Amino acid sequence: MAQLFPKWANNVPKRLLLALNLLLLAVIFGFWYYGSPKHTQVGYAPSQPIDFSHRLHASELGIDCQYCHTSVWESARASIPSTETCMTCHSQIATDSEKLELLWDSWNNDRPIEWVHIHKLAGFAYFNHSAHVNVGIGCATCHGRVDRMEVVMQTQPLSMGWCLDCHNNPDPYIRPVSEVTNMAWEPDDNHYQFAQMIISKKSINPPIYCNACHR
Amino acid sequence: MSTNSGYVVEKPLVKGNHTFSSITALVADIVEKPTPLWWYIAFGISNLLLGLLFAMLAYLIWEGTGVWGLNNTVAWGWAIINFVWWVGIGHAGTLISAILYLFRQGWRTAINRFAEAMTIFAVMCAGIFPAVHVGRIWVIYWIFPLPNQMQMWPNFNSPLLWDVFAVSTYFTVSLLFWYVGLVPDFATLRDRVKSKLGAKIYGFFALGWTGGNRQWQHYEKSYLLLAGLATPLVLSVHTIVSFDFAVSIIPGWHTTIFPPYFVAGAIFSGFAMVMTLMLIARKIYGLEDIMTDDHMEKMNIIILVTGWMVGFAYIMEFFIAWYGGVEYEKFAFVNRAFGPYAWAYWIMMFCNVVAPNFFWFKKMRRSVAVSFVLSIVVNIGMWFERFVITVTSLAQDFIPGSWAYYSPTWVDVLTYVGTFGLFFTNFLLFLRFMPMVAIAEIKMVLPQADPHYYDEDGNEPEPVEQIEESK
């Protein structure tokens, strides 16, 4: 009887097995790298209706974060400033700038500006700004050096694992409450002792149970 | 000492004085002959039911588990009942192939191949239910311990997780066991089929089997090792399925008798299913010489024994509920027998405890009609057993204010019916394209395989019937 398969067929199962394993590794790597919020979320920097520069306002002009994001100490949301907030200055400054046409349009027609939401959390995840800033988590810890951004970009993945990294071990991220809006703050050499002191003094105990965030 | 120094001649396991080649022909011809008309009809019906299953699952996933009849307290309904039922049926295959193999029960060779096939297909049907009952099937990978951006990890304290591993291990080992046994038979078909494509396909799966001495040695060794591996699985899978219930604190579930009780029930229903399929298959394909009435009788004895183990567990549960003196436990059991689901309880009692008693009588054990009917009755009973366990304990739990009567919806019912489509589609494909009896193994239990079968001159012994008469 003639042979059903040529001689090279002997190698097919081994090669197939090898190829399958490589494929499996590639799929795992693909999900691990390209599926991670570190890849899908970080770097999101949509263009806004008005070319507002955080670098100019926060860094060069030295306006504090809370001047515009007013409710951050009291409320779950830091709040996006209203047109009126902008107009406290811009009714006097750069009134004829082309960039501000939309702002005047909004002011005159009583129609809010539709800023693009950047730092999005899923609807089923509860987050409270006031709970974080009042124990000394700085703006820059989660939002990055906004004072250096012409266009605001998301710098952290905002994934559940990323939240838990800090909730499990808040030490490295704690700063004096007075420094919360200081973009340039750096920890001291004895930061660990300081953090331990703050944590025990304020009895900070970040929750890691499910319904802390999934209420 | 008795003057009778003779010994009882064991009945041959294969009837009809077959030779090695006539056994091959008997089994392999089924695959090689043209497809019979009834097969197309049966396959068509099975495919329709399979389509129904897909439609029901698509509807469920689209709409959510609200389309099922689940309510406030009864969070586990038909889906879990069907899961346990199908997994239970899937127990006979490994029992026959692994445990009976280790105990050197030669009669298993007649039925092991298609019992294993039945096991694999039944576990497939079972696996559907826990997968879809989670509701959000697109995040089903959360049950696996995969590192992820949520830093979520499966709860290794939960029997539901053990279940995932138990059933998937069982499926994998059963599949491997089945395939290893099939290799020599695939080689037989490869060498017999006329079409070139058929020879290539069977040849691919035969892995270059030539039937050499070394190949047989490796084969026997690996088969033995797999049997050893599969044996604990027969006991572990349904033990862990029972933990899904027993580890919780619901009255009626939280009992230590559950693991042995579930395993016995699984073997009970599995053998009944093998019986149902065997009686149909041997009639259609004329395999009465291989699957003899003796096989039927042996299986009926197992059904009788396991049926009484299950019956013992039913009665023992009641005894412990009274003896333990826990009010909730007592209520749960009295409620089972006389509460709103009493009808289901008594169907279960009749089918599982009363009906198998016909098998005390040899005449009944050897009657095809009685065996066929009772094998179906047993599986109806075993379905109701799971219904009784799952639903009665949940529907009337600790808070009387939330008691509610559970009824399935049409989606529940049609999904269950659809799983038969999956099962029979697979099974018919198996009957059509694979050797449904282990050709190589059945030859080992032929009288001719005995080295002393032929006398010194190479002559056949006198026919067996004459020995029986002279005894």
B322 falls within a domain: yes
Q: Looking at CA atoms only, how far is residue A84 from chain B in angstroms?
A: 39
Candidates B423, B438, B436, B426; CA nearest to B180 is: B438
Taking phi first (over 0 means left), then psi (-120 to 50 degrees means alpha), and beta for anything else, what does residue A93 get?
beta
Phi/psi for A95 (5° steps) reads: -65, -25
A3 falls within a domain: no
Query: At B321, which amino acid appears?
Result: A
Note whether A122 and A167 are same-domain residues. Answer: yes
- Reply yes or no on whether the pLDDT at B280 is more than 90: yes
Number of structural domains chain B divides into: 1
Note whether A158 and A199 are same-domain residues. Answer: yes
Query: Could you identify the residue written with the tokens 């006097």?
Result: A92
B312 falls within a domain: yes
Q: Closest residue of A to B208, CA-based?
A: A10
Note whether A122 and A141 are same-domain residues. Answer: yes
Q: Closest residue of A to B202, CA-based?
A: A4
The pair of structure tokens assigned to A43 is: 């770097």
The pair of structure tokens assigned to A56 is: 């100019």
Q: Closest residue of A to B199, CA-based?
A: A4
Q: Cβ of A206 under 8 Å from any chain B Cβ?
A: no
Residue bearing the bigger pLDDT, B376 or A2: B376
Q: CA B209 to CA B203: how far, in whole Å?
A: 8
pLDDT digits (tens, 9 = 90+) for B23-34: 898 899 889 889
B471 falls within a domain: no
Contacts of B157 (CB under 8 A, 6+ apart): none
User: Secondary structure of B257-305 in the HEC alphabet?
Assistant: CHHHHHHHHHHHHHHHHHHHHHHHHHHHHCCCCCCCHHHHHHHHHHHHH
Note whether A180 and A197 are same-domain residues. Answer: yes
Reported as a pLDDT band with limits 50, 70 and 90, residue B461 is: confident
Task: Quote the pLDDT of residue A169.
Answer: 92
A99 falls within a domain: no
Note whether A71 and A172 are same-domain residues. Answer: yes
Query: At B127, which amino acid appears?
Result: G
Q: How many CB atoms lie within 10 A of CB A24?
A: 10
**In terms of residue numbers, what domain contains A54?**
42-80+115-212
A206 falls within a domain: yes
pLDDT digits (tens, 9 = 90+) for B118-133: 999 999 999 999 999 9
- Reply yes or no on whether the pLDDT at B470 is more than 70: no
- Output the average pLDDT for chain B: 90
- The residue among B151, B189, B200, B210 with the most chain A CBs within 10 A of its CB, best to mutate, is B151
Note whether A71 and A16 are same-domain residues. Answer: no
Q: Cβ of B151 under 8 Å from any chain A Cβ?
A: yes
Q: Do B149 and A164 touch (CB under 8 A)?
A: no
B109 falls within a domain: yes
* Dihedral Cα A161, A162, A164, A167, nearest 10 deg: 180
Average confidence (pLDDT) over B136-156 = 87
Within 8 A of B149 by CB-CB distance, chain A residues are 36-38, 157, 159-162
Q: Closest residue of B to A36, CA-based?
A: B149
Task: Quote the pLDDT of residue B469.
Answer: 45
Note whether A158 and A204 are same-domain residues. Answer: yes
- The residue among A1, A3, A4, A165 with the most chain B CBs within 10 A of its CB, best to mutate, is A4
A153 falls within a domain: yes
Q: Cβ of B191 under 8 Å from any chain A Cβ?
A: yes
Average confidence (pLDDT) over B376-399 = 93
User: Secondary structure of chain A in the HEC alphabet?
Assistant: CCCCCCHHHHHHHHHHHHHHHHHHHHHHHHHHHHCCHHHHCCCCCCCCCCCCCHHHHHHHCCCCHHHHCHHHHCCCCCCCCCHHHHHHHHCCCCCCCHHHHHHHHHHHHCCCCCCCCCCCCCCCCCCCHHHHHCCCECHHHHHCCHHHCCCCCCCCCCCHHHHHHHHHCCHHHECCHHHCCCCCCCCCCCHHHHHHHHHHHCCCCCCCCHHHCCC
B194-B197-B203 Cα angle (round to 5):
90
B437 touches B113 (CB < 8 A): yes
A110 falls within a domain: no
B234 touches B209 (CB < 8 A): no
pLDDT digits (tens, 9 = 90+) for B67-90: 999 988 898 999 999 999 999 999
Q: CA B341 to CA B353: how far, in whole Å?
A: 18
Q: Cβ of B201 under 8 Å from any chain A Cβ?
A: no
Task: Quote the pLDDT of residue B301.
Answer: 94
A107 falls within a domain: no
Note whether A71 and A130 are same-domain residues. Answer: yes
- Reply yes or no on whether the pLDDT at B463 is more than 70: no
Q: Do B152 and A36 touch (CB under 8 A)?
A: no
B127 touches B171 (CB < 8 A): yes
B15 falls within a domain: no
pLDDT digits (tens, 9 = 90+) for B225-275: 999 988 898 889 999 999 999 999 899 999 999 999 999 999 999 999 999
Half-sphere exposure of residue B320, counting CA atoms within 13 Å on the CB side?
A: 15
Q: Cβ of B139 under 8 Å from any chain A Cβ?
A: no
Task: Quote the pLDDT of residue B4.
Answer: 59
A106 falls within a domain: no
Q: Looking at CA atoms only, how far is residue A211 from chain B in angstroms?
A: 14
Candidates B115, B112, B127; CA nearest to B169 is: B127
Q: Do A4 and B148 touch (CB under 8 A)?
A: no
pLDDT digits (tens, 9 = 90+) for A189-204: 899 999 999 999 988 9
Candidates B304, B229, B278, B246; CA nearest to B84 is: B246
* Dihedral Cα B255, B257, B262, B264, nearest 10 deg: -170
Residue bearing the bigger pLDDT, B168 or B17: B168
The pair of structure tokens assigned to B251 is: 């009255």
Number of structural domains chain A divides into: 2
Reported as a pLDDT band with limits 50, 70 and 90, residue B5 is: low
A105 touches A98 (CB < 8 A): no
DSSP one-letter string for B104-164 = T-GGGGGTHHHHHHHHHHHHHHHHHHHHHHTS-GGGGGGGS----TT-----TT-HHHHHH
DSSP 8-state assignment for residue B99: I
Give me the percent of chain B exceeding a pLDDT of 70: 96
Q: CA B425 to CA B429: how far, in whole Å?
A: 6
Those of residues 126-165 in A touching chain B at CB distance below 8 A are 157, 159-162, 164-165
Task: Please give the distance of CA A146 from its chain centroid, rounded to a whole number.
Answer: 11
Within 8 A of B201 by CB-CB distance, chain A residues are none
Phi/psi for A137 (5° steps) reads: -100, 120
Query: Could you identify the residue written with the tokens 């090792």?
Result: B225
Contacts of B340 (CB under 8 A, 6+ apart): B395, B396, B405
Average confidence (pLDDT) over B177-190 = 93
B358 falls within a domain: yes
**In terms of residue numbers, what domain contains B332?**
20-136+156-443
**Option in B149, B190, B200 nearest A160 (CB):** B149
B64 falls within a domain: yes
Q: What is the pTM of this model?
A: 0.87
Average confidence (pLDDT) over A150-172 = 93
The pair of structure tokens assigned to B7 is: 């010994």
Task: Quote the pLDDT of residue A107.
Answer: 93
- Reply yes or no on whether the pLDDT at A120 is more than 70: yes
Note whether A25 and A48 are same-domain residues. Answer: no
Q: Cβ of B154 under 8 Å from any chain A Cβ?
A: no
Q: Cβ of B150 under 8 Å from any chain A Cβ?
A: yes
B463 falls within a domain: no
Query: At B199, which amino acid appears?
Result: A
Cα distances (Å, whole numbers) of residue B323 to B308, B319, B320, B327:
22, 6, 5, 11
A6 falls within a domain: no
Those of residues 448-467 in B touching chain A at CB distance below 8 A are none
Q: Closest residue of B to A35, CA-based?
A: B149
